[in-house]
Amino acid sequence: MDSSDSKEMQSSDPHTFSLFRLVRDQARISPEVLAHPYEGSGTTDDPYLVIWIPEDAGNPLNWSASFKWIVTAIVALSCFATAFASSAFSGGIRELVYGFHASTELITAGVSLFVLGFALGPLVWAPLSETIGRQKVFFATFACFSAFLAGCAGVNNIGSLLVLRFFAGSFGSSPFTNAGGVISDIFSA
């Protein structure tokens, strides 16, 4: 943490973080978090019990209602975009058959491989989101998803198109895998 971060924490309301800081600073460690008397002694026999401190701005349950709904809308739109990309491909099958001089069955494999990616991607993204955090997984996988779909738009052979569709489905499955976790993190039951 550099001196500008320290000044930002001291000058701002201790119970809120800026949107920029919520995205950039994954740890979100404030002076209150550092000074909190956690239970335990830090030994193997008596480890620290890490909990959310009261009024911690890093706790998603303490976010404002409007910010929670903005995050919910972003997650919902990312799920919509991925679902739309899975089936939008089928609208251009006739043009793809003509453009690639391939059979309808082979072109339809683009939808099948995308859905196969939906099945295999969650095996990686769900545990990874629990390990390194949902936000990092969302950003990285959605960027890759977008890149693979952009590659599909510029490809000039059917083999490359099918491979790119598979990887787009794999990376695009992340919003479906992690949306429930995001919602349960920000809203109490």
User: Rounded to an integer, what distance in angstroms lies between the CA atom of residue 157 and that of residue 121?
Assistant: 24
Select from 176, 185, 182 the least CA-distant residue to 123: 176
- Spans of all domains in the chain: 3-59, 65-186
**Tokens, residue 95:** 């043009």
User: Rounded to an integer, what distance in angstroms lies between the CA atom of residue 30 and that of residue 44?
Assistant: 26
Q: How many other CB atoms are found less than 10 A from the CB of residue 119?
A: 11
**Is 140 within 8 Å of 86 (Cβ atoms)?**
no
Q: What does pTM read for this prediction?
A: 0.77
Q: What does each C-alpha distance from 25 to 9, 143, 160, 165, 189 come to in angstroms? A: 12, 19, 38, 33, 27
Q: Could you tell me which residues come within 8 angstroms of residue 62 by beta carbon, excluding any fewer than 6 positions away?
A: 15, 55, 56
Q: Which amino acid is at 32?
A: E
**Is 172 within 8 Å of 78 (Cβ atoms)?**
no
pLDDT exceeding 90 applies to what percent of the chain? 60
50 or 94, greater pLDDT:
94
- pLDDT, tens digit (0-9, with 9 covering 90-100), for 82-131: 999 999 998 999 999 999 999 999 999 999 999 999 999 999 999 999 99
Query: What integer is the mean pLDDT of 24-47?
Result: 78
Please check the confidence at residue 183 and state whether its pLDDT lies above 50: yes
CB-based burial, 126-150: b 16+ in 10 Å, e otherwise? bebbeeeebeebbeebbebbeebbe
